[in-house]
Structures are given as structure tokens and as C-alpha cells.
Structure 1
Amino acid sequence: MKELIIASANRNKILEVKTILSPLGYKIRSMKEVGIDIDIQEDGNSFEENALIKAWTLADITKEIVLADDSGLEVEILNNAPGIYSARYGGEHGNDRENNIKLLRELKDVPWDKRGARFVCAIAMVYPNGKEIVTTGECKGIIAMEPKGTNGFGYDPLFYIPQLNKTYAQLDSKEKNSISHRSKALENLKKLLLGKEKGAEN
């Protein structure tokens, strides 16, 4: 069985990867499960570049197939900000509350029909022989006027899905995984792997 290391310690993310890719015959393990705890500098200029940086950093250490992702929120009227800076938009890295406060402040006087946004995810899968596969996925929505819901993390309480009349944070994990930007990127990767896996390892 081929081993696949995920460049993440996020349990929800790992479960999502396992759910979608395990049927392809991979033994999927997280960084923690292989005894690696490093802080990877994400200094790329796009989600794709950052995903590749993370994947290759871990692949150089483990000599195994590695999967990494980078994702963020793009708001149309803000020229696609916060983009690759989504995690540190409000200043401190990973401070969800400050990020959400800043986003609402930036959109304070913006009407509902101008608050279009999308979540974007890029996934990179790299092989010890130098081959790499990159896929992307996105989910379109609207930035709500106020946070709603208690599930999820990050900008989820502000990301409203008109078709469902709910924010990401009001969805259960099954609902979110069925429409999320990450699940779409993973499904795109799965399709590529079904056709390219053999070629990538030759």
C-alpha cells in the first residue's frame, strides 16, 4: 500500500482527505503520525505556490508522497483580498476574531449585492521522483452583514451560501464537505489520480 503524508495537523482536514482519497488505496498519515512537527514558511505568491512549498518541504524530509493544501478567502470588491493573507488579515496569524472584525470593517458600507466572495483551495501532491500534481477548487458565496453559526473556523461565520440560506458555520460537516472548496479540490485530484497515478510513478 502506498503511503501518503498530509502536511497538516488539522483533524478535520485529515479526515476529509482520508474520506475522499482512501478508496484509491493509500495509507494516509498526518505529519504528527510520522513524528514531524515543523513550521513551514509559506512565502509564495499564490495558493498553488504555497501548497507546493509545504508539500516539497515535507517530501524532502520523509521521502514519501506528500499532499499539502493552501486556501483562503477572496472578496471581489476588495480586489480579492485577503487572499493568501487570509490567516493573518487582522494582524496576528490565525486570529479568527480579529480577521473577521477587520473584514466586516472593510465592508461596512458595502451593500449586499456587492459583497460577493469565494473560498479557494489549492492542493499539491508531490512524489519523491519529482513529479507533482496541483488541483484547485472554489465555493462562491456572499460576505454576511454579521457572523452566524458556531461550526467551522476562520471566516466560516461570515461566508453565506445563498442556495442553502446558511453560512459555512451553520452547516454540519457533511453538508460543508459536500460543497466546500477543499472537497472540490480533492475530488479534482481524485479524478486526476485515477488517470495519472500510474504515469506519475513511472
Structure 2
Amino acid sequence: MNNNGESDKNIVWHQSTLTKEERQKQHGHKSIMIWFTGLSGSGKSTIANAVQNELYKKNISVYLLDGDNLRHGINSNLSFTAEDRQENIRRAAEIGKLFVDAGVVVLAALISPFEKERMNARAIFKQDEFIEVYVKCSIEECETRDPKGLYKKARKGEIKDFTGIDQPYEEPQNPEIIIDTNKLSIDEAVEILSSYLFDTLELNTKE
């Protein structure tokens, strides 16, 4: 990319001799991006980890991209401003696309508070390759849980631009799945997602 955000005309895409479909065949299943969005404390990472374990037990090649973990590495130079959140989501989506191209099921657990950025992430995938999971939970319940003590710090003004406190969270308009963690247990959430992946999407292609 040049300074104007446009692709350099001297950089040409090099086509791989192996296709995504061939890699999927080798893995024995489809490859998709499962994008978990929701407030901090809603249960995104917990559910994503549980789903990852369930898929692993079913011999699905799977990898989890956790928002906090990404900010320890590739996104360590980003803050929590609206602009940097946008870049955070863009990078996560592009990394996810590489996994999907490699034939792997990739899970991403990020707050990703803005509908436009989530739609931009979806747009880089084929229509049936991006599954948005809205992990729904009231702000009151998230604050009660507050597993990392972040809401308490945000209320004291020690954390700025915190989603749900001084920065908005835009609920997904058309997610494929809604998991209401005010009502559902982790096991129930995993069961719902597993049923969707294997029964509706027919994830596993091995006979």
C-alpha cells in the first residue's frame, strides 16, 4: 500500500498453484471464519475457546484469534480510538482470510463494536465463509461479571474509550447466530453453534 492507501501498481498478485478447495479437501472439511462479537465480559472468548475444543475433538483443523492476544502482537501498536479499532478489525479479518484460504476453520473473538467495520470484515470473504455470532449480554450483567476489572477502571476514568461506557457498541443487524449469555450456559452455546456448523453448514465433508 502507498501513503494514500492504494495498492502499488508495481505489486502483482502471485497466484498459488494450490487452491483453497484443494486445501479444504486435504483437511476434510470446509473452511470458514466464525466472528464472535459482543461487549467485554459477554463471554466471547470463553465460548470461542469451548467451540474450538469441540471442533478439535471432531478432527476439524481450527485456530482461535483472540482480540486481546492480537493486541499483544500484530496489533500491539494500536490504541482504542475509533480509527485504531477499525484497523484492529481489518487486520484480524485479513489474518482470518489467510486461514480460510489455507483450509482452516478460524474463530475470531473481538468486541468489534461498529457495524460498518464488521460488514467490511464480512465483505472480504465469500458469502458462505463468514459467520457472525453475536454474543449478547446486557451491560449490567457484563459489569457484574467484570472478569478483568475493566468496567470498574472505566467507571473511574482510568480507561478511556471503553466500549459500553464512553464508546458505543452497535448491535449486529443480521448475525447468523445470537447467543444470549444472560440465559444460556457455555455448554448450551456450544451445542447451538455445533448444530449450526455441522447440520446447517455441513462443515465436515468427509464421508
Q: TM-score, normalised by structure 1?
A: 0.34
Structure with greater proportional helix content: 1
Q: TM-score, normalised by structure 2?
A: 0.34
Structure with greater proportional strand content: 1
